[in-house]
Amino acid sequence: MRDASLSSGPGRVLVFVYGVFAVAATGRSLVQLGTEADRAPVAYTLSLVAAVIYLVATTCLLRGGVRAWRVAVVACTVELVGVLAVGTLSYVDTALFPDRTVWSHFGQGYAFLPLVLPFLGLAWLRATRPTAG
């Protein structure tokens, strides 16, 4: 059963932004890993992980339903932990992040949207929590 509330109204904007980040992070990380993986393998691999998380969140928000809602909550939570951990690590160990990635410096290269996005995602998921029954 599809829960239209996840991807309706403000959810449409959220799905769109997640979709853009999924495509951008996937493309950028694959190019970086394919052309210069030895330059910053940890940073580029973490960008690919971020891309996968964005893809999962986008798919679940589009799909709807109780199971998709639960997976989306997990994806957004992992995303939040990831952006906070990678953002901190990128300041602590700058050698690991010679280039900007989607989560480095808390998403500074992306206008800090990667830092804000999981909070918005979790807030939207809380507002659209499936009802028991």
Q: Model confidence over 22-45: pLDDT tens digits?
A: 999 999 999 999 999 999 999 999
Average of per-residue pLDDT across 44-69: 94
pLDDT at position 102 over 70: yes
pLDDT at position 1 over 60: no
Q: How confident is the model at residue 99 (pLDDT cuts 50, 70, 90)?
A: confident
Round the average pLDDT of the chain to a whole number and report it.
91
pTM comes to 0.90
Per-residue tokens: 29: 């990380």
Please give the pLDDT value at position 6: 67
Query: Domains of the chain: which residue ranges?
Result: 4-126
Which residue, among 69, 44, 45, 72, has the nearest Cα to 56 in the 3D structure?
Answer: 72
Query: Dihedral sign, CA of 48, 15, 124, 104?
Result: positive
Q: Which amino acid is at 32?
A: Q
Average of per-residue pLDDT across 91-109: 92
